[in-house]
Structure 1
């Protein structure tokens, strides 16, 4: 291992100001599903995390919100970075995580593997950050639901076969279900559990 491999990269230079800005952008992404929001380039992410994934987790996670990462990231610089800057626990069981990061093209874990909340506490479900290859050029889907005037079409690329069927199944259990943030570069695109998939092409 080279000496630089043991160094933990910096987090926010101005934690209050930068986290507040990122939080507003994340709320905007979830309140207007299908519209990409920029989280900026406030930090250089550790290997394996997109810039927006790192900013979102740095903004939202703390010692009370366990995170699940793929094993290769959990045991590497990304896991060390999150433990240091967020004080969070990294868990082996995705159902125990408050926040999850997955590769959109990876076959597992499925969305159904995460905590969908329960009738008493639907808000305690998992928020899933899905890193994809881009927001254009993939299978086009049409969205409806709160925050969308009429319908909205999106076509993210780099998602596994059957992903949109999983999203439909997730929406079918509303008000339970997980909230999704598609991530590419410094941008996020929100798909809250209330968003319905009404067409693909």
Structure 2
């Protein structure tokens, strides 16, 4: 959608536009996301211009436009975004907004670390029924104190993100132990993203001199 449209219930009285070229932009974003999932921790820029509603970063908004539809329940962290973002999602994506986070196929979270236990991790019969979390962070860098290993990483990969709560690495390890069940994360900062599939292991760098 390329024009702004007034919508009932939109606190600003004006709904912000979505993709300028919905099909092409969604295809571009989906390819970038697939590549990010195949190369955990590698940071990519989404090449689309978008003005997100308050509470959503540009990459978060682009991912929502790419992934969500009427068949994908979405949970929106009330601490991250409010009524204007909810109205924008309903209008552009047509997605049902889940009141219960465990019913969501996708979720947007913000803050120091999401509570992974609040979301569906799938089960042995349907591990694909687990949720994917879009986690908005204030800093995202391909260097820092975190070391990633696992499928899609040749040896190891450094990652820096902030804020990061104590206890997240332990919670992420517990999530990985659920494989083939478990959550996937997509880190978002501005217009950039990096993926952390459930198979990715995260540790802290032991010394400053570690490669």
TM-score in terms of structure 2 length: 0.87
Which of 119, 126, 140 is 1:121 aligned to? 126
Give unmatched runs, 5+ long, in structure 1.
none
Match in the other structure for 2:140:
135
Tell me whether 143-152 or 132-141 shows the greater mean CA deviation.
132-141
CA positional deviation for 1:56: 0.4
Bigger radius of gyration among the two: 2
Could you tell me how far apart the structure 1 residues matched to 2:203 and 2:82 are? 39
Which of 170, 176, 179 is 2:175 aligned to? 170
Kindly report the root-mean-square deviation, in angstroms, between the aligned alpha carbons of the 2 structures: 2.0
1:1-201 aligned within 5 A: 5-71=12-78, 75-105=82-112, 110-136=115-141, 140-201=145-206
Give unmatched runs, 5+ long, in structure 2.
1-9, 207-211
Deviations 1:35-75 (A, max 9, x none): 01111342110000010000001100000101111225664
Structure ranking higher on relative contact order (CA contacts 8 Å, 6+ apart): 1
CA contact (8 A) 1:144 1:151 kept: yes
TM-score in terms of structure 1 length: 0.91
Tell me whether 132-141 or 73-82 shows the greater mean CA deviation.
132-141
Structure 1 segments (4+ residues) deviating >6 Å: none
Could you tell me how far apart the structure 2 residues matched to 1:69 and 1:4 are? 17
Q: Count matched residues.
A: 197
CA contact (8 A) 2:56 2:81 kept: no
CA contact (8 A) 2:186 2:196 kept: yes
The change in CA–CA distance for 1:62 and 1:105 in structure 2 (over 3 A counts) is same
